[in-house]
Chains A and B, each alone.
Chain A
Amino acid sequence: MTDWLEKHVPKLVLAPSLVAIFVFVYGFIGWTAYVSFTKSRLLPKYDLVGTIQYEKLAASPRWEVALTNLAIFGILFILFATVIGLILAIMLDQKIRTEGPLRTIYLYPMALSFIVTGTAWKWILNPGLGIESVFRDLGFENFSFDWLVNPDLAIYTVVIAGVWQSSGFVMALFLAGLRSVDGEIIRAAMVDGISTPRIYMSIIIPSMAPIFLSSFIVLSHLAIKSFDLVIALTGGGPGYSTDLPATFMYAMAFSRGDIGQAASSATVMMMIVTAIIVPYLYSELRPRHD
């Protein structure tokens, strides 16, 4: 008995978490998938009606906008957050005297939710109140920054605020990576007379491939989950031009009272998540020879 216990302790210890994950993640995904085949409105109902919800979803122009936005937002957000995070990390790595305070400044947005900063961002990006008006007051009469109110460009302001929040974290990841690069390689390169930018471009950055992967995953998960950001900044507007799948799903479930439709959009979202995450998990966790 004690022997058995001793042998199975690790599994027993893991069990509560696993049970929780199975119920609260996979059980709930299953529940959602099931409900997506029903005509649930205000509250869930469990009579199956086939794929009506998916047909409705496919025909919905708003959902199309939400998916397009996810693509635009996702790509730009990941790209800019990575590039800015990397640049900041490299700049901070040059023996900057005020590194500590600067690092904190770059990192702090991660500490704030958009419920906190939403109003400030809305003002800053609003042409009549924020940057545009400040520049015009300074005498730049033709300065224009009205993306927030332009349905075709509003999604880009969401990118700006999103990058603001997340690039500091990416910077932290890269800085950590830079600090752990083997100094000997760099000294060797310097002895070979390779210039500093070249050293970064061809030696250091390539050696941080795993960090690129980590930050890609963190960022893509943030992009897919992005919700507060849009609600606080644009509320999905102008019109529904900045809707993302998460806000679409939320609107359907809670303000529209169309849970079936919400569940079908959630299921599609989960499929997108799976398509991104599973290859990553596979590459991370496939057995390696030690």
Chain B
Amino acid sequence: MTSPQKAEHILSVENLDKSFGAVKILKDINVAIEPGDFLVLVGPSGCGKSTLLNCIAGLEKSTGGEIKIGGRSMNGVSPKDRDIAMVFQSYALYPTMTVGKNITFGMKVRGVPEAEQQRKLNEVAKLLQIDHLLDRKPSQLSGGQRQRVAMGRALVRDPQLFLFDEPLSNLDAKLRVEMRTEIKRLHQTLGASIVYVTHDQIEAMTLATKIVVMKDGIIQQAGTPNEIYNQPANMFVADFMGSPSMNLIPAQLEAVDEKTKISINRTDMAGIELMMDRKIEGLAGGSKSVILGLRPENISDASGQNAKDGQVAECRVDVVEPAGSDTFVVTNLGGKQVTARMNADVQIMAGDMANFAFDLSKASIFEPESGARIA
């Protein structure tokens, strides 16, 4: 990821380290985005994503490395001088100020003329449809309204860079989806550059132009949503991104000409064998234990599209979970639960033997020890 510093990078983070005492929170972080990018930092809690965001905002001091915003080094620059705006998980609305005052507080502090403050306030209020709430106190608002006010406070700033710290996680599911769309629309209409932290991989997938997956203070993978989803760099990313998550099945690989034979053991019956049309480097005649990563949508019923390749195996159905648009069917392969995404109208009962069709063109192969992607 150490891309050469380009002028158009709105944000670049280089070799960033952060530790609290002996505990290293961030290790050698390198990220860069271009204007208009929507960067989502995603990972489980404690992975360091919020710390990274706070470092970018200048709310926490890094212990090493550099952060540049708009090409300017941010070393020793206080948050207010970084030309950023931030939206917080708890919204952090000032409880004793009205909505209007909350939104204009920053401008007031910076000494923006009164008239200008009013103009911007009206503009933003209209954009976010909160004009009727301006005289209320935060305690009189609903969660969604507070969320909008928090965004309003960021928008009036009109900064180079927006920072969002899990802004939707305090909302209920329905509202969360609505606000997600809203944020996406704002991004598109304003063309703003955004760094967005979440632990929700769906938010990450839907919003991002660029995703950084983190774990234990280390970047696991950075790339477009498509790259992250289809070519996860390791088993952690594979497992973390996507819902239901990728099936990770212990398997044996063996090179057969230009193809690769995949053998999967089963505890209760004979194993299955599948052929993959690709050649995997480094098999050199012998067989090799790997982890086979397959998204649920790459396993379907025999009537589905996957069946054409003939990679079909009969498996025992453990659980059937109809989900409306699809039906998820769980079986057991290689000692693991494996989920297949089948047609909604598939006629299968738990306990049946059924044919599962495997689409191996999008399969990922991982090294069992390190979890790193092989192919």
Contact = CB atoms under 8 A, between A and B. Distances in A.
Nearest to B78: A6
B76 interface: yes
A137 interface: no
A287 to B, nearest CB: 10
Interface string B64-100: 0000000000001010000000000000000000000
A10 to B, nearest CB: 14
Contacts of B76: 3
Interface in A1-16: 3, 6
A250 B265 CA distance: 85
A119 B78 CA distance: 62
Contacts of A3: 76, 78
B272 to A, nearest CB: 45
Nearest to B61: A7
A3 B78 CA distance: 9
A173 B78 CA distance: 42
A169 B152 CA distance: 45
Contacts of A6: 78
Interface residues of A, number: 2
A6 B61 CA distance: 14
Q: Give chain B's interface residue range (CB within 8 Å of chain A).
A: under 10
A264 to B, nearest CB: 41
Interface string A134-153: 00000000000000000000
Contacts of B78: 3, 6
A28 to B, nearest CB: 34
Interface string B198-230: 000000000000000000000000000000000
Nearest to B46: A289
A149 B262 CA distance: 97
A63 B78 CA distance: 60
A289 to B, nearest CB: 9
A41 B134 CA distance: 71
Nearest to A2: B78
Nearest to A289: B46
A3 to B, nearest CB: 6
A6 B76 CA distance: 11
A6 B78 CA distance: 9
Interface string B161-202: 000000000000000000000000000000000000000000
B57 to A, nearest CB: 16
A212 to B, nearest CB: 30
A3 B77 CA distance: 9
A6 B80 CA distance: 12
A3 B79 CA distance: 12
B227 to A, nearest CB: 34
Interface string A42-53: 000000000000
A22 to B, nearest CB: 25
B80 to A, nearest CB: 10
A97 B372 CA distance: 69
Interface string A205-242: 00000000000000000000000000000000000000
A158 to B, nearest CB: 46
B255 to A, nearest CB: 49
A3 B61 CA distance: 14
A3 B81 CA distance: 12
A124 B78 CA distance: 66
Nearest to A3: B76
Nearest to A6: B78
A5 to B, nearest CB: 12
A251 B78 CA distance: 58
A51 B76 CA distance: 56
A274 to B, nearest CB: 28
Nearest to B76: A3
Interface in A105-137: none
Nearest to B77: A3
A112 B84 CA distance: 55
A260 B78 CA distance: 55
B92 to A, nearest CB: 16
A6 B81 CA distance: 13
A173 B37 CA distance: 53
A247 to B, nearest CB: 47
Interface in A238-271: none
Closest 3 CB pairs of A and B: A3-B76, A6-B78, A3-B78
Interface of B: 76, 78
3 contacts: A3-B76, A3-B78, A6-B78
Interface of A: 3, 6
